[in-house]
Structure 1
Amino acid sequence: MSTAAHTDWQHRPAPATSGAWVDRAAEVAAVLATDAAARDRAGATPYDEVQLLKDSGLVTLLGPVEHGGGGQDWPTAYRVVREVAKADGSIGQLLGYHYLWNWAARLVGTREQWEHVEAEAARNRWFFGGAVNPRDNDVVVRDEGDTLTFTGRKSFSTGSRVSDVTVLEGVLEGSVGPDNPEGDHVFAIVPSDSAGLTFHDDWDNIGQRLTESGSVTIDGVRVPWSAAAGYVDKSFQRRVYNTLNVPTIQLVFAHFYLGIAAGALETAGTYTRTKARSWLHGGHERAVDEPYVIDTYGDLTAKLWAAEALADQVAEEGWALHSDPDAVTERDRGEHEVRVAAVKARATDVALEVANRIFEVTGARSTATSEGLDRFWRNIRTHTLHDPVAYKRREVGRFVLTGELPEPTWYS
């Protein structure tokens, strides 16, 4: 991957509008697309790819303008993730997770905490990773007076070795009880090279190969109490807005699924136009004139456009909640989660269908490893197993039939 053609990014003014930021993301995607299949096969740690995100300014998209950030909103961030994911699903995921963890201080922390984090992140172009796999509950946070120590292990830590800072999460020792079965969770941001933080090179899945999502060991990583997000005098300041992290990250998922699907359709379309052969018994000289080929592209594109439109609409609805955090009610949050669940369900189904059916209109030779068309399906299939889509449909169905709102959990 060569970034030489875009070294002038750092000497050009930052984009000033949402559309200009999406255009910048398209420039980044064009660089990533040049060797996406080869990089997927190599599976190397994506240091250069993350540097590309930094050089282009995309990592600072949500940061405050006065500190060098883009000052943009979440609907723009989702569109940027989708654009990058067209070229490389792994890098789209890394960027989307980065945006969430960058914003996490605002979701969970006090104003003083998140203003400090966002200023430092924008000035230094931090890239965020997160050791916050909710199904691993073995990270213990011990109160040691003025400091806290995190100790345990997480199965997944997306962004691990390419991150500058990592969000840690664990349960405060002694906080679990009959009235508090889940205990008090503590989030803190630490440098990724902190003593006691060991990232393991054990991510070996069929898709999203460049996301650095391997396991991590956390051995007595020390932070001051002042870094415990949302805690004041060792007491967590609860707001409904704290629970908006799940619908926000689930929308990140949906958008990079749709981005990968769009990339699959674009790549397949180029192959059909330039390499695919018409069927010898079909009576057409070109593959692009085959009625079944035309119909398939029309069908898949219509489904993708519909899913993208829904995803964009729900992103705007979510931004209304982010814009006034203190006003978010439980009903606001619950209804938004139902809408997000619907987006996640449709994005999953449409993306899987697109990535599977493109082979029907590209032909047998398109399955060559050198073409790399399989990476789109592998990437979507891998991440859509993050949590069962049936439970997303259940949230929607229960709301429609009974008005029931989903309770905030790590997955809803």
Structure 2
Amino acid sequence: MTKSVDAQVSWDDKQAPSTAEQWVQRASEVAAVLAVDAVRRDRDANTPYAEVQLLKDSGLVTLLAPAEHGGGGQPWTTAYRVIREVAKADGSIGQLLGYHYLWAWAARLVGTPEQIAAVEEAAAKQRWFFGGAVNPRDQDLTITDHGSHLSYNGRKSFSTGSKVSDVTVLEGVLEGTETHVFAIVPSRQDGIVFNDDWDNIGQRVTESGSVVITDVRVDWASAAGFVDKVFQPRVYNTLNVPAIQLVFVNFYLGIAGGALATASTYTRDKARSWLYSPYERAVDEPHVLDTYGDLTAKLWAVEALADKVAEEAQVIHDNAEAVTERQRGEHEVRVAAVKARATDVALEVTSRIFEVTGARSTASSEGLDRFWRNVRTHTLHDPVAYKRQEVGVYVLRDEIPEPTWYS
């Protein structure tokens, strides 16, 4: 991001948003800044320090934090819309913001009341940006009990956003047990080394490379959800998976929406009708109109479903202590359904836009390919076939998914 772009927006002289619509408008303003040099930043794939600072300066990082601590006091329904809006301009930053919201919510998911209050107050006042080193496909970090404190050791292949974060969520297993322990630690310390090895075709600005954890110390008092070294379980502890899967859904839809908007501008301003067509303008070609209508209708349908499932999620968040295993399972099925549809629609939109923009639109300078590359890269996070199976099992056998790292 260039200094000239940064200088275009001064958040200090703007009134802080107070409603959902105002927060979405703030996200739209952030997206407008990101869109200016999104193609170049995708190509350069530099560490997004300026982009994260933009999220902080705009106040978006504190959207979910309680108002009494200076946060936005907004529900998850607003957060998902904000993620979608930011992702329209830059899928990588939409992902970073979404992951931040999930990890910032980690204390709420598994912490004690005292831990929740302490983390949320500090995070809001200091505008922490959260990262996470919790990739379940790798071996768990090893946790050693030293009496008054714990130490974490190990390696994770992916640690999205942690290099640009203030704090990182760690998770591992206590030696000699099957006990998992979450903790929030400062990201900038000698015991955390980021390997700068994220070089994938899409989501290139997410800093999702590997990390090595060596003797990172955590006091037992900061072990999330533990009292006298004993974890206090709740069904709500397992809401991290449906919450993050809805994050995925919304930045997929945001990327697809950004692709459609960018392509439609290109079609209006640059595309030409076919040489042998009776139409002078590309915007009058029947097949162009049909394609845009088809893709837009599909995208709108999934956005509506995503908003509905987000509302269902909010009911659970608002009644965290009362949620049952059955309620949680049925919600996960709904999340699986919208995840499957969002994946299919985002891939279709981002690939088919070239049918209505033409050969010249494939120029690297246009950057239209970044939308497909971003969606294709992240939709491989977990196989969508398993999401459809969750829905099928529920419909045919009335069985809900067992909580896992992916369901």
Shorter-chain TM-score bucket reads over 0.9
TM-superposed deviation, 1:320: 0.3
- Structure 2 gap ranges (5+): none
Shift of 1:350: 0.2
1:11-410 matches, cutoff 5 A: 11-175=13-177, 183-410=178-405
- For residues 128-159 of structure 1, give each alpha carbon's deviation from its aligned partner in whole angstroms, at most 9, with x where no partner exists: 00000011124101100000000000000000
Whole-angstrom CA distance in 1 between matches of 2:123 and 2:289: 47
Shift of 1:165: 0.4
Q: Which amino acid aligns with 2:281?
A: R
Q: Which amino acid aligns with 2:23?
A: W
- The alpha carbon displacement at 1:12 in A equals 2.2
Distance 1:199 1:231 in 2: 28
Distance of 2:283 and 2:296 partners within structure 1:
15
Relative to the length of structure 2, the TM-score reads: 0.99
* Partners of 1:200 and 1:227 in 2: CA distance: 27
Q: How far apart are residue 106 of structure 1 and its match? A: 0.3
Q: Displacement, 1:281?
A: 1.1
- Letter aligned with residue 9 of structure 2: H
Deviation at 1:67, TM superposition (A): 1.4
Q: Tell me what 1:180 maps to.
A: none
Identity of aligned residues (%): 75
TM-score by structure 1 length? 0.97
Q: Secondary structure at the match of 2:154?
A: strand
| Counterparts of 1:11 and 1:192, CA distance in 2 | 31
Contact 1:276/1:287, CA 8 A, preserved across alignment:
yes
Partner SS for 1:161? helix
User: CA offsets, 1:182-213, max 9 Å, x none?
Assistant: x1111000000123111110001000000000
- Name the Cα RMSD after superposition: 0.6
- Quick one: which amino acid aligns to residue 80 of structure 1? V
Verify the 8 A CA contact 1:197 1:221 in the aligned structure 2: yes
Question: Are the equivalent residues in 1 in contact too, given 2:140–2:171 (CA < 8 A)?
Answer: no
Distance 2:249 2:186 in 1: 29
Contact 1:160 1:214 in 2 (8 A): no
Q: Distance in 2 between matches of 1:152 and 1:47?
A: 26
**Deviation sequence 1:231-276 (CA, Å, 0-9, x none):** 1110111100000000000000000000000000000000000000
Deviations 1:301-337 (A, max 9, x none): 0000000000000000000000011100000000000
- Corresponding residue number in structure 1 for 2:6: 3
Q: Is the 8 A contact 2:163 2:194 kept in 1?
A: yes
TM-fit CA distance, 1:65: 1.0
- Greater shift in the superposed pair: 132-141 or 229-238: 132-141
Q: Paired residues, what number?
A: 404
Shift of 1:10: 2.0
| SS in structure 2 of the partner of residue 130 of structure 1 | strand
Q: CA deviation at 1:11?
A: 2.9
Offset from partner CA, 1:377-412 (integer Å, 9 cap, x none)? 000000000000000000001101110100000000
What 5-or-longer segments of structure 1 have no aligned partner? 176-182
